[in-house]
Amino acid sequence: MRDSISKKQECKLLPNQRIVGRWQRNSYRIIRELGYGATGTVYLAEGRGELVALKIASDSMSITSEVNVFRQFSKVQGPSLGPSFYEADDYVSAGGVYPFYVMEYINGQPFLPFLRQRGAEWTGILIVQLLKDLHQLHKAGWVFGDLKPENLLVTENPNCVRWLDVGGMTIQGRAIKEYTEFFDRGYWGLGNRKAEPSYDLFSVSMLFMNRGYPSRFEKTQEKSFTRLMTKFRQKDVIRPFEPVFRRGIEGKYKDALDMRSDLIQLLHGTTFTPKVSISVKPKTNITRREQKKIKQQQPSNPKKRRSLGVLESMLVASFILVVYILYLFGQTM
């Protein structure tokens, strides 16, 4: 299924509207809409004594399919994977009977906006974690399928990647049932749409690309591999990840842990430019005597000034490296 979403919402729920399950009789108060897609609409709701995410649709088959995936997915559930599944039921209204299911509400920041506020190294840090989670999913015989930033959230304390939508998850060996063209190797002519680990790893590579090109871009008559590599090298924020990106789109990685290992080594061996916010002070009238005093306080030797600058850069780089090591060590536990 391509990522072409119909905006028709057959069951529109309003803020403060209360719905009660036909079978379980649990009540949920709708707070606001979180998003909608080809298979239904997701709302933030209050129920079960907490905030939850409630997905409702007119097609019972799509809801049933996703519920079955959730139940299988729970077998590989981890502390940083997707939302927990709570229950499935039907909502009876004047317009008909609508199936829905309730899952954990994950409060976090969207993947790309989070990265835009951080340094370039954070792209690698989060994807290191994502690859560990994908490995667990692949070992259980599943492929994520529709892997894209819209299906990822970053939580706080600590910063962890969580998966949102399991609708595209497919049993290995079958055809991918949901995909988004930019992250689909079939669209670029760089592979088929068979559900296998390398399909997800191609999508992971395109997460790097999407970091550099938030608006994305389409294929042209130019050879896809050449076009992708050229575009990748044009963005400073992602260029350091080129070796991992290249092997990912070529399908050279045997599994997610192989890709993760390469990425960890790259992070340890790369110095990223720290993201520094610079505040500009307004000009003030300074007397010649004050200017002379300031000049006397500054290092007079140009070589000494350069040495201080190099020392500061080394200290910043060392600090970032320590952060890498501590974070990555925590992800391997």
Point out the annotated binding site.
55
Question: Around Cβ 46, how many Cβ atoms within 10 Å?
Answer: 17
Tokens at 306, concatenated: 């350069």
Question: Around Cβ 8, how many Cβ atoms within 10 Å?
Answer: 7
Rounded Cα distance between 139 and 325, Å, is 26
Tokens at 289, concatenated: 């005597």
Rounded Cα distance between 214 and 163, Å, is 19
Question: Around Cβ 272, how many Cβ atoms within 10 Å?
Answer: 18
Instruction: Summarize the annotated binding site for ATP as residue ranges.
Output: 55
Q: Are 47 and 40 in contact (CB under 8 A)?
A: no
Number of helices (H), then strands (E), in the chain? 9, 11
Positions annotated as catalytic residues are 146
Beta strands in the chain (DSSP E): 18-20, 27-37, 40-47, 50-56, 85-93, 96-104, 109-110, 142-143, 152-155, 160-163, 170-171
Q: Give every strand in the sheet of 96-104, ordered side by side.
A: 18-20, 27-37, 40-47, 50-56, 96-104, 85-93
Q: Are 1 and 179 in contact (CB under 8 A)?
A: yes
